[in-house]
Structure formats: C-alpha cells, structure tokens
C-alpha cells in the first residue's frame, strides 16, 4: 500500500464536487484551491492564500491525482504518456503540437475499446471499463505538465475507447473543461470522435454538449464498413446520418468525416462515391488519415498496409472532383505508437 492510499484526489474534479469533498471548508476556500489546481499548482504549500494551519492539515486527507504517469515518449514535438489508473489498468494520452506551436491534448475515455475496428490497435485489446470523468480530466493536467507557458489550446477526445459509450462521464468531463469559472475552454476547441453509436449520437444531439463532432467513417460502403467496423451492424449508416443531421441542426457546427486510408482496401472509386452520397445534406470536411502501421492487424487474412502516396493523392482527387472539402492529416507520433489508431501499446 502506498503512502497516498486512502487520500482523496482533488485534481480533475469540477468545482461542485470539490466543494463537497472539502466540506466543511467554506466555499471560497474550495474556490481558491480549485483556481490553484487550474494553474497547475499541485502542492498545498505553494498555495499562497491558504493559511498555514490548513496547509498542514490538507495533505493528511487529500492528494491531487488519482492516476499516475508511468512513462513519457517523444517523437519530435509529439509526446505520449502512459497513465496508470487506481485499479492498475493503463491508458495512453498524447500531446500534439503543430508547426505554429499550437498544442492539442488527445484524451482517452475507456480502458480498451469494445468497438473492435480491425484497423485500430485499441480495438484489438478488447474492453475493460469506462473511465470516470476525473480520470479523463486528469489526463489533461498530466499533459499540461509537459508544456511551457503557452499551454494547451485544443482538446480532442480521440484516444483509447469509444467516447459515446461513456456518455455520462464524457459529458461531465466536457462540462468541467468548459466551466467559465474554471478552465473556460470554448466548445469550439473541443472535438469528440466517434465510430458512430446511434444511441450516443441521439443523446448528444438532444442534450449536448455541442462541441465539434468527428465521425470515424472509413467508408460509406456499408458492406465493407461492416467488415472493417463491426459496430456498424448495430449502428447502420442511415441511422447515423439521421442523428448527425439533428446534431448539426442543434449545434450549427461542421462535422468532420474521418477516413483512415487502408492500402488497397477503402480507396476505390466506389468508396469515394458512397462518401459523396453520405455527405449530401451535411456540412462536412473530409479528413484523410493514411493508416499508421500496427503489426499484427489484418483484414481478410492479410496484413493491413499503409497506402502509397499515389494512392492517397488519387483518392483525394476523386473526392475533390465530387466537390467535397478534403484535408490530409500529417503523421504525428508514429515512431512512438502515438498516432491515430496506434494507442494501446502498453
């Protein structure tokens, strides 16, 4: 048993829960501690507006984190951390940085993933459990500790797990990120990526939070998608589109269609046409993601391969000829298994 066993963690909690945990302290004291945590101060001793006797008392009851960073790997400006949870399970989170030094936190929502997409390392692990909301928000603080004074400008919920299968904890985590008295993130700077869980899409469409939404589509050829993404069988594309249309009407935001490109599998003219058909009526941007290699992942008895550069360019041209708005995602974190589809090598 560690010396912190039994102590109540505070970081990652929203202000309401923090007030309950710190009761019977007055609410203004909870607000002070909350503000220090948001600034990245994880030592009661460094909280200058907290009286000395309280600084001595608080560490006897409380700690800051419920999770622990076990390792950190770097690939250029990309950093990947392995985070150990209270039950000794592990997840991964990634800090991304673009050419303009803008930083994005990529967070996980589950230990493993039940969706089982054949091209995703996390999907090959199976599913263990949902993360509690503070286990999601703590990842942000761990990543923030790796940054300089510029901080993190965007959050993408694109790590391990299917976010909409953990809707309640996802919603509370996002409410914590967007709390105007807390982190005050704009909803427009938070993106949730889903493989298309119809019940979850309907929940978020009706109840929010109205953040940016990305659908991991892969292909709109339903037969092929059923093989690549078994979750499609219970979540057909027509029902997914109905939910996306409602979400877009409520949120007013553009929806990203993510297309992991698998060499020789989903880069056909038929795929381009079905994507164009699926996009009709939606305000979308198509994000092409050349598959990041994961050893041992196969499709129909063969190892999945990265698409060639001509294959990528040809498929991009097909989509653009159909008047679709297309972007191409750059590889980031590939060398440390921190890129899209690679998380779970722990």
Active-site amino acid positions? 92, 340
CB neighbour list of residue 230: distance below 8 Å, 6 or more residues apart: 115, 116, 117
Q: Could you tell me if 219 and 269 are in contact, meaning their C-beta atoms sit under 8 angstroms apart?
A: no
Q: Could you tell me if 295 and 110 are in contact, meaning their C-beta atoms sit under 8 angstroms apart?
A: no
Q: Could you tell me if 180 and 141 are in contact, meaning their C-beta atoms sit under 8 angstroms apart?
A: no
Strand extents, DSSP E, the chain? 8-9, 62-63, 68-75, 78-84, 90-97, 103-106, 110-112, 127-130, 154-157, 190-194, 212-216, 255-261, 284-290, 298-299, 302-303, 326-328
CB neighbour list of residue 241: distance below 8 Å, 6 or more residues apart: 278, 281, 282
Q: Could you tell me if 66 and 12 are in contact, meaning their C-beta atoms sit under 8 angstroms apart?
A: yes
| Nearest partner of 178 among 192, 164, 193, judged by Cα | 192
> What's the sign of the alpha-carbon dihedral 265, 267, 268, 271?
positive
Ordered DSSP codes for 49-76: TS-HHHHHHGGGTEES-SSEEEEEEEET
CB neighbour list of residue 280: distance below 8 Å, 6 or more residues apart: none
Total count of residues recorded for the chain: 346
Q: Could you tell me if 161 and 128 are in contact, meaning their C-beta atoms sit under 8 angstroms apart?
A: no
State the Cα–Cα distance between residues 133 and 245, nearest whole angstrom. Answer: 28
State the Cα–Cα distance between residues 235 and 198, nearest whole angstrom. Answer: 6
């Amino acid at each position: 048993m560690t010396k912190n066993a039994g102590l109540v963690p505070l970081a990652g909690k929203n202000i309401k829960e923090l007030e309950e945990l710190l009761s019977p302290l007055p609410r203004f004291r909870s607000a002070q501690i909350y503000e220090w945590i948001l600034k990245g101060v994880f030592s009661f001793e460094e909280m200058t507006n907290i009286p000395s006797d309280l600084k001595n008392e608080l560490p006897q009851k409380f700690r800051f984190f419920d999770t622990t960073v076990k390792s950190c790997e770097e690939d250029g400006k990309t950093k990947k951390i392995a985070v150990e949870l209270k039950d000794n399970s592990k997840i991964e989170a990634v800090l991304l940085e673009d050419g303009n030094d803008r930083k994005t936190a990529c967070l996980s929502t589950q230990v493993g993933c039940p969706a089982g997409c054949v091209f995703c390392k996390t999907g090959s692990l199976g599913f263990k459990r949902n993360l509690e909301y503070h286990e999601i928000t703590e990842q942000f603080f761990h990543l923030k500790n790796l940054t300089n004074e510029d901080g993190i400008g965007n959050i993408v919920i694109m790590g391990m797990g299917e976010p909409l299968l953990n809707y309640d904890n996802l919603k509370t985590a996002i409410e914590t990120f967007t709390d105007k008295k807390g982190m005050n993130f704009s909803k427009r700077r938070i993106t949730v990526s889903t493989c298309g869980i119809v019940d979850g899409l309907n929940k978020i469409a009706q109840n929010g939070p109205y953040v940016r939404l990305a659908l991991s589509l892969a292909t709109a050829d339903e037969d092929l998608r059923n093989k690549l993404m078994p979750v499609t069988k219970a979540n057909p594309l027509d029902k997914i589109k109905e939910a996306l249309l409602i979400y877009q009407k409520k949120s007013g935001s553009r929806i990203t269609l993510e297309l992991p490109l698998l060499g020789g599998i989903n880069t056909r003219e038929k795929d381009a046409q079905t994507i164009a058909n699926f996009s009709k009526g939606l305000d979308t941007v198509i994000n092409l993601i050349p598959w990041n290699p994961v050893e041992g992942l196969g499709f129909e008895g063969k190892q999945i391969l990265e698409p060639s550069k001509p294959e990528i360019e040809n498929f991009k041209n097909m989509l653009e000829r159909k008047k679709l708005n297309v972007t191409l995602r750059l590889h980031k974190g590939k060398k440390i298994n921190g890129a899209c589809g690679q998380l779970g090598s722990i």
